[in-house]
Structure formats: structure tokens, C-alpha cells
Amino acid sequence: MLTASKKGKIERIIIPTPFAVGDVNVYLLIGDAVSLIDVGPNTEEAWKALERGLSIYGLKPSDIDQILLTHHHVDHYGLATRVQERSDAKLYCHPLSEMYVTRHEEKMKQAVQYFNQFYLRHGVPETEAKKAIGLSHLYDVYGTSAPIFGWLQDGESLPGHENWKIYHMPGHSQDHLCFYEQEQRVMIGGDHLIKHISSNAILEAPQVEGTERPKTLLQYRDSMRRCLDFDIQRVHSGHGETISEVRELILNRLERQEQRAEGMLTYLQDGAKTAWEIANQMFGERIEQEMSLILSEVIGHMDLLQDQDKVTTKMQDSIQYYYSK
Ligand SMILES: [Zn+2]
Ligand SMILES: [Zn+2]
């Protein structure tokens, strides 16, 4: 196929999103297959930007052979079905993406039930918990139910791009993947590493019912440390600019998290508190609109403090309190 893009080159296409995070970057990778890494949210503006972006390289959505997802967030995968409707594009993702990418009704319902209980256990008033769950449904319109063709697994190569290896980097999301090309020392990093914002280690319900929730901030820190072992010259992120000082950024993020945890510890000086109480003291009114992200932040850092043996928990009247040791 004759295109304006050289085989093996990574081309960035910037797609607008309706979210606070701003634009999302999707990447065109041409190897033995024409692949899109992430596609953008399911909006008309995003679709137009994708068509425009592809046309620069002489391509149309119908030319896409594969969609390879870094993770399941709607700003990254929502347009998948629309691309698939116009092409034979095969969608590949991590197995843990499945329930979100296919909008698996039963599992999504279980996740909602889990969070309802979870919020109440962390001291969130019932009306606020309902509101937060209602808000999370707003995102559904930017997603889609897309058929999955195959899995992307840690240590394997990207289909159609033998030189690109897949690494499972849970933390920002449970299914998060990074793709690495050793010769160019380049990583496609999704939301694992972003230059201008520190990525949130978002809480997720356990996918196997009855098991414990993943401690997302601890996972995220492990995944960042794992990246330190790679020889990386550039990380192409899911949002914002390409990162060249990768090591510095990772070390900075890790340190900031420790400082933030220390800061949160001071809220426990005058006695035990719930995650909701800490969140209110720290974030005030902002909690209204961003409760799930803010609770991820607070509970994640409490997990870190527990891991450092500085904080412990106790249950009282079915509500979990954190107190400093
Ligand atoms: Zn994300
Ligand atoms: Zn994102």
C-alpha cells in the first residue's frame, strides 16, 4: 500500500474529547498491518478528526486492519465500532478490557453494585454515592460495544508488528498496556505516563466476584518502576506531548506520591477518619464532580501509607476508618 507514512514509523493523530483531560493521542502504526493504537471517544468531532488525520497519510478508516487498545477508557476506545463498521478492523486488547469494551451488562452491573457498597463503607453519604454512580453512566455514551478479535498479552509481540512488544502495566487501569520497540527505544505509553499531568491510579471493582479490590496506586508504582528497567528514549503518551526525560519523570512521580501520602497523614493527626472525610477536607467542593477520581486518590495513598506501615484501619458500624499508627 502506498501511503505518505513510512513503514515502521509512528504517526500521531490528535483527537478532541469532551473530557477535562482534553485531546487524546491515537497512533498510526504501519507494519505488516495498518494499525491504530487507540481510536478516540465516540463523538462526531472525534470521528472527523480521525478521518482528517488518516487522510494526511493517504488513508481512510476503511483501510484500518487492526485496532490495538492501550486500555478501556472511553476516550481511547469509543470510536472502535464506527471504524469496524467501515473496515474489517480486528480489535485486540488485554483480557481485562473485555467487560468494558463489550459493555458486558452483567459484569458492569456487578461493578456498579460493588462501588455502591464500597462508597458507603468509606463513609460516603448514600445520596452522594448515588450521584457519583449516576455521573459514571454519563460516560457510557462515549463508549461502544465493540467485538474483540484477540488478546494482547504481556511479553508477546503486537500482531502485524513483530518488533513491538507488549507489556502489561496495571495501575492507571487494570488492563493497561504499553508497547515497546527496542531498536528505536520507543514506547507507546497510553495513560501510564503523561508529561503534563500525573496519571490517576483509578479504583476498579475486582473482576472476580468475592476477591479483594486491586490496590491500584501500589500497582501503578510497581508498573512505573518496571519502566525504569527499559532503555527508553521517547514515550508517546495518550495525552499531551512526547516524553523524552522518561527516567526523571518516573522518579519525580514516585517521589510526589510519597510526599502526597505524607501530606494526607497529617489529616489523621487529630483522630481516625474515613476516606470521605479526608477527601472533603482536602478537596472541598471539587469532590461533587470528581468523586470517583478523588476517592481513588485518597484511598490509593492510604493504601501506600498502610503498605509503609504508617496507617491502619478499623471498622465501626460497617464504616472503614483510617488512623495513623
Ligand atoms: Zn485512561
Ligand atoms: Zn486517557
Q: Cell 476477591 maps to which residue? A: 211
Ligand 1 center–CA 172 separation, angstroms: 6
Asked if residue 215 and residue 173 are part of one domain, the reply reads yes
**Rounded Cα gap, residues 139 and 150, in angstroms:** 25
Ligand 2 center–CA 196 separation, angstroms: 13
Residue 129 lies in a domain: yes
pLDDT in tens, the chain (325 residues): 445 566 678 999 999 999 989 999 999 999 999 999 999 999 999 999 999 999 999 999 999 999 999 999 999 999 999 999 999 999 999 999 999 999 999 999 999 999 999 999 999 999 999 988 887 777 789 999 999 999 999 999 999 999 999 999 999 999 999 999 999 999 999 999 999 999 999 999 998 878 999 999 999 999 999 999 999 999 999 999 999 999 999 999 999 999 999 999 999 999 999 999 999 999 998 898 889 999 999 999 999 999 999 999 999 999 999 999 9
Ligand 1 center–CA 74 separation, angstroms: 8
**Rounded Cα gap, residues 56 and 52, in angstroms:** 7
Helix (H, G, I), strand (E, B) or coil at 114: helix
The answer to whether the complex's ipTM is over 0.85 is: yes
Asked if residue 133 and residue 278 are part of one domain, the reply reads yes
CB 24 within 8 A of CB 57: no
Of 244, 273, 307, the position where a domain reaches its end is: 244
Ligand 2 center–CA 14 separation, angstroms: 12
Ligand 2 center–CA 23 separation, angstroms: 9
Ligand 1 center–CA 100 separation, angstroms: 13
Of 186, 217, 244, the position where a domain reaches its end is: 244
Residues with CB under 5 A from ligand 1 (ion): 73, 191
Q: How many domains does one find in the chain?
A: 2
- Starting from the CA of residue 202, give the closest ligand: 1
Q: Could you list the residue range(s) of the whole structural domain that residue 128 is in?
A: 105-139+260-324
Asked if residue 177 and residue 317 are part of one domain, the reply reads no
Asked if residue 178 and residue 80 are part of one domain, the reply reads yes
Residue 190 lies in a domain: yes
